[in-house]
């Protein structure tokens, strides 16, 4: 495949893109061999180790499942029937914002009135389309063979794609909104940025922090509008619970959302080795657990992580304008994605968007022109995040039925968190250094 330095030609890829594609191809080959060895010689549950065991038990096996699989994050809603009220079900459903719950409610109604299997099929197809949007957008106008290769290696055959589809998690629906936000940010289109950030934040509230990107480029008025619209849409969306059958109280549901969100990160210990957790807090908890003497509490760990991430994000906001969008936006996106205490494998979905930026102009040229250290850190972070490779750290205990002899602890999500943390730090330092050299451009 021909490679250009800038990636400006329709049939070529830039420096970073060509290396990411090449390493992803090698990684996929290694993943297949690794999976074969683990499954055939050691009877390890590969999917269960990377994400979660297939027999997740959230539906009636046979009539509602695909084999033994229930797509649990979706099925927990479909089992509610025509109501949004999770009484006698998973109480943590109340952590989901109202628009989120309403989207699931639409699929609940399809399941009730048209069939469970049809509802699951439409939802999974929609999720796949959303997750593949960045790759398809990136390869428009490129040769057919390159389109297939890029969509396969940066979309279908990636860890976050498989994880999000396997769980039926709605983070997939946020991906097109985030892509819209960064493209609009580059083009200077305010309405696109507002719609993108507000839309993504209604799916996963932490993505509201992407408003920091507007502060980097000093678009304070648009940032204020985004915050106001986001809060307004969120509060108004509680009226949607009136659609539930029977209807619910908007005020009570708001109170429950606030109550249950406080306990969101308490259903899984921060240092739990399973299921795979790619959060920065999990890394610090592991380090903290390996240090003798007094140990930090989980609350202290989360606070420390938040403060450190906020510090480096503040540096990017302060001096990031000295760098192009394609360089600093990935740092903000992945910091926002991995700072929450529980960031399962599908929260690496932001890497799907970043991989697309490597291929699409003008982002690809921006990244290719970045310092060598940043290019290599971004390359490694992307490859580790997207490659569905199982590297075992030892046995683990799954709370649901598994295949073979069970699951193991996966190394790759932890390495991904380390690499994104290093990239965040490196971008912040580079931005400060560049800002000092060009003060007139950023003040």
E strand spans, 22-151: none
Name the token pair of 397: 């205990």
Cα 410 to the center of its chain, rounded Å:
18
pLDDT more than 90, % of the chain: 78
CA max distance for the chain: 66
User: For the segment 305-331, what is each residue's pLDDT rounded down to a tens digit?
Assistant: 999 999 999 999 999 999 999 999 999
Q: For residues 280 and 267, what is the distance between their CA atoms, to the nearest angstrom?
A: 17
Name the token pair of 7: 């990636």
Compute the CA torsion angle 389, 325, 210, 345 (nearest 10 deg).
0
Q: For residues 203 and 230, what is the distance between their CA atoms, to the nearest angstrom?
A: 11
pLDDT exceeds 50 at position 80: yes
Q: For residues 370 and 431, what is the distance between their CA atoms, to the nearest angstrom?
A: 11
In this structure, of 67-81, 147-161, 350-364, 412-426, the range with the lowest mean pLDDT score is 67-81
For the chain, the average pLDDT equals 91
pLDDT given for residue 293 in this prediction? 56
The upper half-sphere exposure of residue 233, i.e. CA atoms within 13 Å in the direction of its Cβ, equals 20
pTM: 0.94
pLDDT exceeds 50 at position 66: yes
Residue matched to tokens 């403060």 = 307
pLDDT exceeds 60 at position 439: no
Residue of 382, 417, 443, 307 lying closest to 153 (CA atoms): 382
pLDDT exceeds 90 at position 284: yes
Q: For residues 358 and 23, what is the distance between their CA atoms, to the nearest angstrom?
A: 14
Contacts of 287 by beta carbon, 8 Å cutoff, 6+ apart? none
Backbone CA torsion sign across 123, 133, 330, 223: negative
pLDDT given for residue 265 in this prediction? 64
Give the residue ranges of DSSP H helices in 262-324: 280-289, 298-319
Compute the CA torsion angle 106, 256, 272, 69 (nearest 10 deg).
-20
pLDDT given for residue 256 in this prediction? 85
Tell me if residue 428 falls in helix, strand or coil: helix
Average pLDDT over residues 410-422: 97
pLDDT exceeds 80 at position 214: yes
Q: For residues 272 and 265, what is the distance between their CA atoms, to the nearest angstrom?
A: 12
Contacts of 56 by beta carbon, 8 Å cutoff, 6+ apart? 69, 70, 71, 72, 75, 400
In this structure, of 192-201, 232-241, 289-298, 388-397, the range with the lowest mean pLDDT score is 289-298
pLDDT exceeds 60 at position 387: yes
pLDDT exceeds 50 at position 391: yes
User: For the segment 82-109, what is each residue's pLDDT rounded down to a tens digit?
Assistant: 999 877 666 778 888 999 999 999 999 9
Contacts of 87 by beta carbon, 8 Å cutoff, 6+ apart? none
Name the token pair of 192: 């696109």
């Amino acid at each position: 495949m021909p490679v250009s330095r800038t990636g400006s030609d329709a049939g070529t890829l830039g420096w970073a893109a060509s290396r990411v594609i090449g390493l992803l191809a090698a990684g996929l080959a290694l993943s297949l061999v690794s999976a074969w060895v683990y499954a055939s010689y050691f009877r390890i549950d590969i999917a269960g180790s990377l994400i979660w065991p297939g027999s997740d038990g959230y539906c009636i096996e046979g009539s509602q499942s695909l084999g033994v699989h229930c797509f649990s994050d979706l099925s927990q809603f479909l089992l509610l029937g025509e109501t949004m009220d999770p009484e006698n079900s998973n109480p943590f459903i109340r952590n989901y914002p109202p628009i989120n719950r309403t989207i699931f409610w639409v699929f609940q109604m399809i399941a009730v009135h048209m069939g469970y299997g049809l509802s699951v099929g439409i939802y999974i197809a929609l999720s796949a389309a959303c997750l593949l949007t960045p790759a398809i957008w990136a390869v428009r106008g490129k040769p057919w063979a390159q389109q297939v290769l890029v969509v396969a290696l940066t979309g279908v055959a990636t860890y976050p794609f498989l994880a999000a589809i396997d769980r039926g998690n709605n983070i997939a629906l946020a991906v097109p909104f985030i892509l819209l936000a960064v493209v609009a940010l580059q083009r200077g289109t305010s309405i696109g940025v507002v719609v993108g950030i507000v839309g993504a934040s209604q799916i996963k509230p932490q993505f509201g922090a992407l408003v920091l990107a507007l502060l980097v480029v000093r678009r304070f008025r648009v940032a204020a509008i985004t915050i106001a619209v986001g809060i307004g849409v969120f509060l108004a969306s509680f009226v949607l619970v009136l659609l539930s059958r029977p209807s619910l109280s908007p005020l009570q549901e708001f109170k429950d959302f606030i109550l249950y969100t406080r306990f969101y990160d308490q259903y899984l210990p921060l240092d739990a080795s399973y299921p795979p957790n790619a959060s920065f807090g999990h890394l610090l908890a592991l380090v903290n657990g390996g240090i003798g003497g007094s140990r930090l509490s989980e609350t202290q760990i989360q606070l420390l992580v938040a403060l450190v991430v906020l510090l480096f994000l503040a540096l990017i906001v302060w001096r990031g304008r000295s760098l192009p969008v394609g360089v600093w936006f990935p740092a903000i996106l992945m910091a926002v994605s991995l700072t929450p205490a529980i960031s399962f494998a599908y929260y690496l979905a932001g890497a799907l968007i970043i991989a697309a930026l490597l291929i699409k102009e003008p982002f690809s040229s921006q990244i290719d022109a970045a310092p060598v250290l940043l290019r290599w850190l971004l390359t490694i972070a992307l490859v580790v995040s997207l490659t569905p490779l199982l590297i075992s750290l030892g046995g683990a205990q799954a709370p649901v039925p598994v295949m073979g002899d069970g699951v193991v602890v996966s190394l790759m999500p932890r390495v991904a968190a380390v690499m994104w943390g290093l990239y965040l730090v490196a971008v912040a330092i580079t931005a400060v250094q560049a800002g000092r050299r060009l003060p007139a451009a950023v003040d």
